Amino acid sequence: MAEPRPPGWPGLPFPNPVSPLLEWLQSVQATMILSVIFSVLSLFLFFCQLFTLTKGGRFYITGVFQILAGLCVMSAASIYTVRHPEWHSTSDNSYGFAYILAWVAFPLALLSGVIYVILRKRE
């Protein structure tokens, strides 16, 4: 007879360490980490493409990763906006600088991604 498992992740012998009420915060953190990874990867790919592209070539791969970074920032800020419990109870709360910075970073990342796609390598 199998011993009963505590509630949590299936197949693991320990309970879920995250409260179900804060799972949305993990998704915000994960998408922001993905955004940083995509941005760093975009920078690395830009330098690689800078030395390997022929004259007149476009930086498509760099632009795609930068656009993905912008979309990750947008989804993280959107989830945080919708799920943050204190903003729904009263209107006396203020936005933090990191929250505003995320909404400013979103269009800037998208704009730089579009510029990378349009940009051509010159001699």
38 in a domain, yes or no? yes
The 10s digit of each residue's pLDDT in 51-86 is 888 888 888 999 999 999 999 999 999 988 888 766
2 in a domain, yes or no? no
**Going by C-beta distance under 8 Å and a sequence separation of 6 or more, which residues neighbour residue 91?**
none
Which pLDDT score, from 0 to 100, does residue 5 have? 47
8 in a domain, yes or no? no
Q: By residue range, what is the domain housing residue 111?
A: 22-85+96-118
For the chain, list residues with pLDDT below 70.
Answer: 1-21, 85-95, 121, 123
43 in a domain, yes or no? yes
1 in a domain, yes or no? no
Listed in sequence order, the DSSP H helices in the chain are 23-52, 60-83, 86-89, 97-118
